[in-house]
């Protein structure tokens, strides 16, 4: 019974994945939320070395992917590193390869409408 309790508590401690791999017919492998909503990074933040610049009306149009609990550094099947960054409002946002990730408010599941639009790029995954 001791081993069973240990196994159950280990499963309970395992952090849920912050994002998943999705194969888009046009963009190939991309990073999405669990609801298959595409994730984006913004070149403005890349040039600012990862500092959060999308706040206020920008964050309403480009909702951040917030961290809920621990975020694992790696996820099976996804090449790259996850982490978090503290937003100006104090909340933690998920990062991928040191860049904050966002969804686009006018997209539904399995849609990519804003790749290479005003410096926003869908997160493409390498094999």
DSSP letter string, 91-116: -EEEEETTEE-B--TT--TT----TT
Q: Residue with structure tokens 């939320």? A: 33
pLDDT at 6 over 50: no
Mean pLDDT of the chain: 90
Q: Which of 78, 114, 110 is nearest to 96 (CA)?
A: 78
Q: Residue with structure tokens 């280990």? A: 10
Q: Give the separation between CA 4 and CA 23, rounded to whole angstroms.
A: 37
User: What predicted TM-score, i.e. pTM, was given to this entire model?
Assistant: 0.87
Q: Give the separation between CA 3 and CA 9, rounded to whole angstroms.
A: 10
Q: Residue with structure tokens 């493409």? A: 124
Q: What percent of the chain has pLDDT over 70?
A: 88
| pLDDT tens, position by position, 18-33 | 999 999 999 999 999 9
pLDDT band at residue 4 using 50, 70 and 90 as cut-offs: very low
pLDDT at 5 over 50: no
Quick one: tokens of 123?
Answer: 């997160």
């Amino acid at each position: 019974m001791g081993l069973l309790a240990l196994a159950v508590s280990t499963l309970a401690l395992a952090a849920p994945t912050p994002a998943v791999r999705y194969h888009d017919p046009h963009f190939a492998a991309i990073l999405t939320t669990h609801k298959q909503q595409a994730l984006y990074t913004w070149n403005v933040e890349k040039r600012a070395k990862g500092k959060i610049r999308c706040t206020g009306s920008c964050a309403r149009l480009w909702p951040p992917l917030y961290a809920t609990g621990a975020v694992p550094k790696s996820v099976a099947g996804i090449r790259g590193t996850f982490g978090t960054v503290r937003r100006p409002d104090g909340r933690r946002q998920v990062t991928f390869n040191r860049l904050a990730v966002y969804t686009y408010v006018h997209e539904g599941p399995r849609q990519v409408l804003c790749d290479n639009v005003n410096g926003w790029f869908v997160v493409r995954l390498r094999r």
